[in-house]
Amino acid sequence: TSTSTVTIRGATHPTQKPWFNVPKNIVAKTSRRLHLQNDHPIAITRQIIQANFPQPTYKYYNEYSPVVTTKQNFDSLGFPVDHPGRALTDTYYLNEKLLLRTHTSAHQADTFRANESDGYLISADVYRRDAIDRSHYPIFHQMEGARSWDRNKVPNGDIAAAVMEDIERLPKHDVVVEDPNPPMHPERNPLQEAHHSAAEAEALGKHLKRSLENMVVDIFTRAKAAAIKDDPDFVDEPLRMRWVEAYFPFTSPSWELEVYYAGDWLEVLGCGVVKQELYINANVPSQVGWAFGIGIDRIAMLLFKIPDIRLFWSEDERFLSQFTGVSASLDTLKPFVPFSKHPPSPRDVSFWIRSTSPAGGNDKAVFHENDVMELVRSIGGDEVESVSLIDEFVHPKTGRKSVAYRIVYRHLERTLTGAETNAIHERVRKALVDRLGGELR
Ligand code: PHE
């Protein structure tokens, strides 16, 4: 038995091999709570989303701890036992049962069970082991939302009529929305026949789509107003949105909403009609409804024109002071003005990979790139801007494999000297060899 522990937001938990895989730099950041930090762009973006889902219809939950059970994060939502998201290479575990939530949906079951309002919003920090670049960071923020109706409380038990009536009360918008797919897909997204009539599912889908379109229109209208304030010559394209069929184990039917922005279709949120098993297991079987989840960081990057996701974690006044007063008065939002950009310092490293898993345990993967990403981040810190695979080589005789990565170091707040970069890189190289590798090539 192990006596090691880790303390996260004041609560101490036992850690267990081989599950425990949370590096110190991540543990340290669990207490930052950027979504609650007044005048922080993440908190401001949360407030803008909240403004579109008013109390008391929607109750706000912003304090849930990031430590959740595998049941909360996966089982309660119908994730199969072999779902790749459960792997040690993708998720931060404390022990066999506890992990750092990978999405705010981890709180759906508990919030439905609490049954404190018709709807809810949950904002929180979420954790995923992933690649490193300017829009990916192992911690980001999500907002979850849901709206439910109770068969025993709507007039005549008529859910479809009650939902249609609520749709009439929603604000209207005049943005073109493409929605070419049929609402259901026989395998991926069937009508939940045992629980909804087609008319009910259709009404729920309509209420969900209108509510989320309104939120996205509001966000992008604010982004445009800020951009124009900043640059009166700013020429905008009209906003376009489209619904795309999607799959989530806990909704059916399911969709993603995409927005046409700067020449690209951008996925902004996932959503769907809540699978009835969630309500049944939460002891509120007479309720039906919809849920969505949106990533806050990417939206904040667009709203404020923030070029690098690491900036959210900066404690530099040149960053933070630019948003002073915006939490109290959301209309004063204006784009971020980058402080002078310091030069990048790329360095390459290549090494042979060992043929057994560094993580061990239930993880069958022999070598996973996320292990490289994380080692580089935990040694190199936020001075690492990106890590990319530049070469792979399999020895024709021995079958051994070697990989080469380019690591771009760039401090957000000052210029790194060559000697400083070399010193960091040397530690990174050594860690890669010690913990993942065979030897350097
Ligand atoms: N949790 C999902 C994700 O992180 C998003 C989602 C939330 C989808 C709620 C449907 C309903 O991708």
Distance from C-alpha of 174 to C-alpha of 196, rounded to nearest angstrom: 30
| Closest C-alpha residue for ligand 1 atom 12 | 270
Q: What is the pLDDT of residue 293?
A: 98
Lowest mean pLDDT among 15-29, 285-299, 349-363, 365-379: 349-363
Name the burial class of residue 431, with classes exposed (0-12), middle (13-18) and buried (19+) by CB atoms within 10 angstroms of its CB.
middle
Among protein residues, the one with the nearest Cα to ligand 1's atom 5 is 293
Q: Which of ligand 1's atoms lies nearest the C-alpha of 293?
A: 7
Residues 6+ apart with CB under 8 A from 431: 375, 379
Report pLDDT for 139: 97
Q: Does 237 score more than 90 pLDDT?
A: no
Q: Looking at the predicted structure, is the pLDDT value of residue 232 above 90?
A: no
Cα(335)–Cα(315) distance, integer angstroms = 18
Does position 356 have pLDDT exceeding 80, yes or no? no
Confidence band, pLDDT 50/70/90 cuts, at residue 181: confident
Residue 77's closest CA among 339, 254, 298? Answer: 254
Ligand 1 in reach of 147 Cβ (< 6 A): no
Q: Which atom of ligand 1 is nearest to the CA of 146?
A: 9
Q: Give the nearest ligand 1 atom to 108 CA.
A: 9
Cβ of 252 below 6 Å from ligand 1: no
**Residue 251 CB less than 6 A away from ligand 1:** yes
- How close is the Cα of 105 to the center of ligand 1, in Å? 6
Q: How distant is the alpha carbon of residue 156 from its chain centre?
A: 40
Judge whether residue 319 has pLDDT over 60.
yes
Among 125, 188, 248, which is best to mutate for testing ligand 1, by the most ligand atoms less than 8 A from CB? 248
Task: Kindly report the protein residue whose alpha carbon is nearest to atom 2 of ligand 1.
Answer: 293
What is the residue whose two structure tokens read 């960053």?
Answer: 319
Name the residue of 74, 101, 103 to mutate for ligand 1: max ligand atoms within 8 A of Cβ: 103
Digit-coded pLDDT (tens) for 58-74: 999 999 999 999 999 99
- Kindly give, in sequence order, each residue whose CB lies less than 8 Å from that of residue 52, ignoring residues fewer than 6 positions away: 211, 214, 215, 218
| Superfamily grouping for domain 345-440 | Ferrodoxin-fold anticodon-binding domain (3.30.70.380)
Answer yes or no: is the C-beta of 253 below 6 A from any ligand 1 atom.
Answer: no
pLDDT score for 341: 81
State what percent of residues in the chain have pLDDT above 70: 96
Q: Whose CA is nearest to atom 10 of ligand 1?
A: 271
Whether the per-residue pLDDT at 376 is higher than 50: the answer is: yes
**Looking at residues 287-301, what average pLDDT do you find?**
97
What's the pLDDT tens digit per position in 244-258?
999 999 999 999 999
Tell me, what DSSP letter sits at residue 309?
G
Handedness of CA 80, 70, 275, 185 (dihedral sign): negative
pLDDT number for residue 353 = 83
Q: Does residue 39 come out as left (phi exceeding 0), alpha (psi in the -120 to 50 range) or beta?
A: left
Identify the pLDDT of residue 361: 42
Instruction: Report the 3 state secondary structure along 202-253.
Output: HHHHHHHHHHHHHHHHHHHHHHHHHHHHHCCCCCCCCCEEEEEECCECCEEE
What value does the mean pLDDT of the chain take? 92
Share of the chain above pLDDT 90, in %: 80
Q: Which CATH architecture has domain 32-66+101-332?
A: 2-Layer Sandwich (3.30)
* pLDDT tens readout for residues 126-159: 999 988 898 899 999 999 999 999 999 999 999 9
CA-274 nearest atom, ligand 1: 11
Residue 22 has pLDDT above 60, yes or no: yes
pLDDT for the residue numbered 368? 85
Atom of ligand 1 nearest to the CA of 295: 4
Q: State whether the beta carbon of 140 lies less than 6 angstroms from ligand 1.
A: no
CA dihedral over 422, 427, 432, 433, signed as positive or negative: positive
Task: Evaluate if residue 14 carries a pLDDT over 70.
Answer: yes
Domain with CATH 3.30.70.380 in the chain: 345-440
Neighbours of 30 (CB within 10 A): 20
How far does residue 108's CA lie from ligand 1's centre (Å)? 10
Residue 357 has pLDDT above 70, yes or no: no
Question: What residue ranges of the chain are covered by domains with CATH 3.30.930.10?
Answer: 32-66+101-332
